[in-house]
Amino acid sequence: MKIALPSQLRLVTDKALLSSLESDLSKVEERIIEATAHAEVMVDSMTSHLARAGGKRMRPVLTLLTSHLGTPGGEDVLDAAVVMEITHLATLYHDDVMDQASTRRGVDTAHIVWGNNIAILTGDLLFARASNLVSGLGQEALQLQAKIFEQLVLGQLHETIGPIDQEDPVDHYIQVLRDKTGSLIALAAQLGAMLSGADSSFQKPLEEFGQSIGVAFQLIDDIIDIESTKSQSGKVSGTDLLAGVPTLPVLLLAKHDDSKSVKLLADISSGLDVASLPEVLERLRAHPVMEESKLETRRWAEAAIAAIAPLPKGKVRTALEAFALAVVERKG
C-alpha cells in the first residue's frame, strides 16, 4: 500500500531518505488499518472511520524520520509510528465532540454519525489500543506516552476553562497549543530516536523541537483561516471566526487600543454570520496583527530549528530543519 509522504517533507532533497520513509510508511499504514479494525462489525466501523478516511500521517513519518538517528526500520519503530497515528486519531474523535465539528478528512465526524457518547467511547477505545501497543515497547516508552497523555488532557481542559485570574490570553493560548499539539509531535520525534537505539542525549532536543513545531503548526492554521482562499486551503476562509474559536490574530487584536482595532474586535466578538464575514475578513487581513502573527509563527519555527542544533549534522537534522520551514510556509 503506497502512501504519499506528508507535505512537511516537500523541502527534503535526500532521495534515499525519502525512499526509505515512503517504504516504511507503507508498512505502517497497513498496521494502522489493522490496529483500528475490530472483530465486531459495528465497532469496526467506528474505530476505523477516520483511519480509512486518510490523513497526512505527519506524526508517524516524524517517528520514522528520527529513527534514522539510530537504526531505522525496526519492528518497535514501526509499532511506535502506529501508536502515534492511533493516539492522534483518538484525540480527533474527542476534539470533534468538544468543537461540534461536522466534517473531518472529508467525511462526517463520528459524533454526527453515531452521536456524542459513541464518539467519545470510540476515542477512548483507540487510546486503549494505543496503550496496548506501546506497552510492548518497553518501560521508558510507556512512561513517556503516559506523560504525554496527561498533557493532552490538561491542554484540552485548559482550553475549555480559558485564561484565569491575570493570565495573559496569548500566553494561555500558546500553552494550550504546546499541550494539545506540541506534546504529541514531540512524542513522535522522541519515540523514533529512543526505539532505534539513538543516543539518549537526543531526547531533550527532539522534545523541544516537537513542542515548538506544534505551536508553529497551529499558528499557521490561524493565519490560513483568515488569509487563504478555499482553493488554497480546501477550507472556507474565516471558519474559526464564525465559530468564535480563539486564534492568535484576534487575541493580538485585543492588545491594540486604537479606535479601528477596538471596533474590529467588537464586531468579531459580537458574533459574525456569513453575510458580515467577508467585510470583517478584509479589515482583519489589512491589520498589523496579521504580520505580528506571522512573525510569532516564524519565531516558533526558528526555535524548533535552534533546538536541534545539538543533533549530529547529517540527513536527519537537515530534514528536520526542512520540516520546520515547510510547516510555516504552507498555504493549506
Q: What digits encode the pLDDT tens for the residues 240-269? A: 898 888 899 999 999 999 999 999 999 999
Instruction: Tell which residue, 51, 39, 49, 54, has the closest CA to residue 113.
Output: 49
Q: 226 exposed, middle or buried (CB, 10 Å; 0-12, 13-18, 19+)? A: buried
Per-residue DSSP letters for 116-137? Answer: HHHHHHHHHHHHHHHHHHHGGG
- How high does pLDDT run on average in the chain? 91
The grid coordinates listed for 287 are 491589520
The cell numbers describing 31, all together, are 498496521
CA angle 204, 205, 206 (to 5 degrees): 90
Looking at residue 96, what is its pLDDT? 82
Residue 35: pLDDT over 70: yes
C-alpha distances in angstroms, 268 versus 123, 172, 183, 247, 264? 33, 20, 31, 12, 6
CATH 1.10.600.10 range(s) for the chain read: 15-138+185-196, 199-323
Phi then psi for residue 144, to 5 deg, are -65, -40
pLDDT at 239: 86
- 182-220, pLDDT tens digit by residue? 999 999 999 999 999 999 999 999 999 999 999 999 999
Grouping H, G, I as helix, E, B as strand and the rest as coil, residue 14 is coil
Helix (H, G, I), strand (E, B) or coil at 108: strand
- In angstroms, the CA 255 to CA 1 distance is 50
Residues forming a β-bridge with 103: 108
Q: Which residues contact 74 (CB under 8 A, 6 or more apart)?
A: 67, 195, 196
Q: Terminus-to-terminus CA distance in the chain, angstroms?
A: 25
The tally of CA atoms less than 13 A away on the side-chain side of residue 20 is 20
CA–CA distance, 95 with 153 (Å, rounded to integer): 11
User: What's the CA gap between 23 and 270, in Å, rounded?
Assistant: 51
18-32, 184-198, 318-332: least confidently modelled range: 318-332
With H, G, I as helix, E, B as strand and everything else as coil, classify residue 103: strand
15-138+185-196 maps to which CATH number?
Answer: 1.10.600.10
Architecture of domain 199-323: Orthogonal Bundle (1.10)
For the chain, give the percent of residues with pLDDT over 90: 69
Average pLDDT over residues 116-132: 90
H or E element: which one contains 87?
Answer: helix 75-99
Residue 270 DSSP one-character state: T
Residue 107, strand partner residues = 104
**Any idea of the CA torsion for 198, 199, 205, 207, to the nearest 10 degrees?**
60
- Distance of alpha carbon 31 from alpha carbon 121, whole angstroms: 22
Cell of 301: 519555527
Cα–Cα separations (whole angstroms), residue 166 to 149, 157, 163, 172, 250: 28, 18, 8, 11, 19
C-alpha cell at 54: 486518510
Backbone φ and ψ for 166, nearest 5 degrees, come out as -100, 20
- What cell does 32 get? 494502522
pLDDT confidence bin for 52, thresholds 50/70/90: confident
- Cell readout for 141 is 516508552
